């Protein structure tokens, strides 16, 4: 495989991080990990110590123009993703094959995991799903209220029952909701 970022596209070289084999570019220090390898690496605490102990390549990153790169395995364009939706580490992901990490991005992800970032990300996702469920339920109740109101206005029941039954049904749903 060849580096997706470097202009001369040097070949990636297999290197070990602890017990994990990754493909690395000697020119830019980027790394390629297949999905399964990355998932294993996220769980392996002893590998984290090796990654955190690796020397940093650059103290600060200059602002770069956003670019999309081809997957080193299949050449399809990779998507840019904020790891865990909140880490601030933007990685390049091929849905089929794996993940490209620019220099120090893997270290940033491991530091994020060690700081409790995954727990915070899961808590945020649970809260987002709860908010989404509340909004959906609220929209459903609003629709029921509008139907009951229309039934009262035009003198017809919405579901073959009585207008009073429709109104009582909406009131009952509201009481369960709150």
What DSSP letter does each residue of 119-160 carry, written as one string?
HHHHHHHHHHHHHHHHHHHHHHHHHHHHHHHHHHHHT--SSS
122 or 88, which is more confident: 88
Tell me if the pTM is above 0.75.
no
Residue 60 has pLDDT above 60, yes or no: no
What DSSP letter does each residue of 62-105 carry, written as one string?
PP------B-TTT-PBPEEEEGGGTSS-EEEEETTTEEEE-TTH
40 or 94, which is more confident: 94
Q: What pLDDT score was predicted for residue 69? A: 95
Q: What pLDDT score was predicted for residue 144? A: 78
Q: What pLDDT score was predicted for residue 52? A: 64
80 or 114, which is more confident: 80
Query: What pLDDT, in 10s, does the model give residues 129-148?
Result: 888 888 888 888 888 778 77
Residue 73 has pLDDT above 90, yes or no: yes
pLDDT band at residue 50 using 50, 70 and 90 as cut-offs? low
C-beta separation of 82 from 109 below 8 A: no
Q: What pLDDT score was predicted for residue 151? A: 65
Q: What is the mean pLDDT of residues 64-77?
A: 92
Structure tokens given for 159: 């579901």
Delimit the domains of the chain by residue range. 13-115, 120-177
CA pair distance 150, 148, nearest whole angstrom: 5
Q: What is the mean pLDDT of residues 84-98?
A: 93
């Amino acid at each position: 495989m060849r580096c997706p970022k470097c202009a001369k596209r040097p070949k990636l070289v297999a290197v070990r991080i602890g017990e994990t084999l990754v493909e690395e570019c000697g020119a830019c220090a980027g790394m390629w990990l297949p999905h399964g390898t990355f998932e294993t690496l996220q769980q392996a605490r002893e590998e984290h110590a090796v990654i955190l102990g690796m020397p940093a390549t650059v103290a600060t990153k200059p602002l770069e123009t956003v670019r999309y790169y081809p997957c080193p395995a299949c050449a399809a364009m990779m998507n840019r993703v904020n790891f865990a939706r909140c880490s601030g580490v933007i990685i390049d992901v091929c849905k089929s094959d794996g993940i490209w990490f620019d220099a120090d991005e893997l270290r940033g992800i491991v530091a994020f995991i060690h700081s409790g970032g995954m727990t915070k990300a899961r808590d945020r996702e649970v809260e987002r799903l709860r908010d989404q469920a509340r909004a959906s339920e609220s929209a459903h109740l609003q629709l029921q209220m509008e139907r009951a109101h229309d039934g009262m206005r035009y003198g017809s029941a919405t579901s073959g029952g009585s207008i009073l039954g429709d109104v009582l049904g909406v009131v009952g749903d509201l009481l369960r909701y709150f």
